[in-house]
Each structure stands twice: as C-alpha cells, then as structure tokens.
Amino acid sequence: MVCDENETDVDIRIPAVMLPQDAGTNLEKHLENNSIVSVQLYSPLRPAVDVAEVFLWLMAVGTILCASYWSAWTTREAAIEHEKLLKDGSNELVNMENVGSSSYVEISTAAAILFVVVASCFLVMIYKLMSYWFIEILVVLFCIGGVEGLQTCLVALLSCFRWFQHAGQTFVKVPLFGAVSYLTLAVTPFCIAFTVVWAVHRRISFAWIGQDILGIALIITVLQIVRIPNLKVGTVLLSCAFLYDIFWVFVSKWWFHESVMIVVARGEKGGEDGIPMLLKIPRLFDPWGGYSVIGFGDIILPGLLVAFSLRYDWLAKRKLRAGYFLWAMTAYGLGLLVTYIALNIMDGHGQPALLYIVPFTLGTFLALGKKKGELKILWTRGEPERPPCPHMLGQREDQPQ
C-alpha cells in the first residue's frame, strides 16, 4: 500500500485476532514448516441478558434482605428488653443499654467521610501495588473476614433450633478470646477448613461458589455489626460513596489513563480473575466466557440504609406497606436492575453501580420521609420516640418547681 504525503482520507482496516498461547504455538510451527495454513474467523454474539446477571441480582437483593431482618430482629429484641426494664430501677436499665450498645458500631458523620477517603487511598494502593504477592495478601485478609463472617452467621442460624440452644448459651473461657460458647467452638473448625480449602483451590472453575458463600456471610455480618444512627449519616455516607464510585470509574481515566476501579476489580495486573472482595457468577450462555461481578461496597453501603429503614419500621410497629423498608428494598432492586441495563447498553463497559443505586434508594427514602412528615425525626433521632421511664417521671414530679 502506497500513500501520498499529505493524504489523510485513507481507509485502513487491519484485523487483529487474539489466540490462546497453545494455538499460537501450533500455528507458528505449521508456518515454519512451510505448511498451508487456513484460518477461519468467527465472532459469536453475546446474549442480551445472561442468566448470571439474574442470579447475581437475586444474590445481592437476598443478602440485604437477610441482613436487614437480622439487624431489625436484634434491635427489636433489645427494645423489648428495654420495655421490660422500664418499671425497674435505673441501674438495670443503664446496664442493659450499655450492653446493647456494645454489640454494634454506629457510624458518625465524620466517620462516613473518613471512610470514603480511606477507601480511596486503599484503592490507589491496590492499583499501584497490584501484583501476585499483593493479591495473596488480599486473599489472606478476605479469608480472615470470611471465617469470622461464616462463623457468626452459622452460630446465629443454628441457635434458632432448640437442639443447639443449650450449646449456644453455655460458655467457656478461652485464653485471648474470653467467654466463647460451645456452639462457636464446634462451628469454628468447620469455618476455618472451608476457607482454607477455598483459598488453596480458588483457581478451579467452580471456586466462585466458595467465594460467594464467604462473601455473603461477611456482608451479612458487617451489616449486622455496623449501623447508621440516622438519615443524616446515611445521606452523607451514600453521597460520598456516590461521588467516590463516579470518580474512580470515569474521572480517574484522566490521571491514570485507565479506569482504576475497573482495573482493580478485574485484577488485570495480578494474574488472577479479580480481587476476592467481589460476588461473582460465570456467564453461563456467553460464548466469550467471563464473570458477572458486583463489589461488596455496592451491597454494604446501600444495605446500611435499607437495614436502617426496617429497624425504624419495627420500632414504630408499622406494617410492611405502611413503612419505609418495602420501598427502600424495591428502590435498591430497581437501581441494581438499571445498572445491569446500563452495562448491556454500554456493551459491557464498566459502570459505577452506586451511580444508579444511590439516587434510587436515598431519593426514595428522603421523598417518603418528607411525605410522611417524619423527615426531621429520621434526620436527627433515627428512631421513633420511646415512652419515658415511670421512675424518671416520678423523680421529675418530686423535684421542686
């Protein structure tokens, strides 16, 4: 092909084909032996919707659903105990509230902002240090969290059956760990063995099942332990996460010449299928293969708001249709559905899930709170008002006016 010096309108089309290494070696040998080689190119079309996306949507929605009910159930149990102690002395009530508050961690506004800053620094560190050994470190950290999450979920689940209640309520003192129930001691070896087997064989074709089990257990445990106290903290947290997701998926291309979030999620520099902090399912009917994935943050962060909505509904003793949870749960499902629609429209290019999920969930919650006239209570207190203690009323009446 010969081009003129100033010619600009030249239509050059050179096909590029990617081959597996063994196929390329075989082709090279035939060419070196002066054999006649014929190549036929075939480009199959991907299905508009893969079953993997449907199952991944069900996994994400189901995880938040289970975590929300567990969080609301523990809160309601604590509220019932609170009501039983209203007529007792203040010392017992204070002790009960101190014990109940120590079982979970509430996020403050400053902590919500700091979380996004720390997450950004951690993401850049993973991007810069992405290598085989660094992936191994992440796998170890994931395994530690997976053991803790799986153990917590199994103990809570088995404790619901009367055959295991005695073992769950009988404790023994263990060095470095304090009082531990016999049920926990029985479950922990199984959790460790399961996690170790997954870590050793995580590169086999069906290892994604073990990763999803550990990931779901870890997410449920986090949503049970970590809570937002009111809508103000939830708004700050999700707004910062909204900007965080957009920046590291789209804007980061201007500084790093590639999307930092997508590179980290795929594990392209670490020689693996991706970091373990993901739920993933193989694309069953996609001729190109690969996985459909969703990050833990896309479930945990909006899940904090959804769990908060159900706790508020149960404390307010509202039915499902009259509360916030049904609408918040529906909004999350729709937001995640729109994310997958955007992925298909953009031909598989990575999309920030929180770009679609946050406006759906947070916008629905704010609009519904405004409509019900409870936005101020949701924004500040985060729970309906409880009746005052009778003995406290008596003390106020005895005080001189």
3 in any annotated domain? no
pLDDT in tens, 179-216: 888 898 999 999 999 999 999 998 888 899 999 999 99
What tokens appear for 171 in the block?
Answer: 């404790």
* Residue 237 near residue 100 (C-beta atoms within 8 A): no
CA distance 384 to 396: 22
Does 347 participate in catalysis according to the annotation? no
If you write DSSP's letter for every residue of 49-89 in order, what string do you get? S-HHHHHHHHHHHHHHHHHHHHHHHHHHHHHHHHHHTTTS-
**Residue 161: domain span:** 51-375
The radius of gyration of the chain from alpha carbons, rounded to an integer in Å, stands at 27
Q: Which residue has the higher pLDDT, 179 or 248?
A: 248
The predicted pLDDT at position 96 comes to: 46
Q: What pLDDT, on a 0 to 100 scale, did the predictor assign at position 371?
A: 92
Residue 249 lies in a domain: yes
Give the pLDDT band (50/70/90) at residue 171.
confident
Residue 131 lies in a domain: yes
Q: How many domains does the chain have?
A: 1
**Residue 398 within a domain:** no
Does some domain include residue 76?
yes
- The model's confidence at residue 231, banded by pLDDT at 50, 70 and 90, is very high
Question: Would residue 370 count as lying in a domain?
Answer: yes
What is residue 99's predicted lDDT score, i.e. its pLDDT? 43
Cβ neighbours for 366, distance < 8 A, ≥ 6 positions apart: 231, 235, 375
Domain presence at residue 384: no
Which residue in the list 212, 273, 286, 298 is annotated as catalytic?
298
- Residue 298 annotated as catalytic: yes
In a domain, 30, yes or no: no
Tell me the per-residue pLDDT of 344-393, one tens digit each, with 9 for 90 and over: 887 656 788 999 999 999 999 999 999 999 999 999 988 887 655 554 44
Instruction: Report residue 85's pLDDT band, with 50, 70 and 90 as the boundaries.
Output: low
**pLDDT of res. 93:** 47
Best-predicted range by mean pLDDT (38-52, 227-241, 270-284): 227-241
**Alpha helices, DSSP H only, in 159-207?**
162-169, 182-200
**Which one of 212, 245, 273, 313 is the catalytic residue?**
245
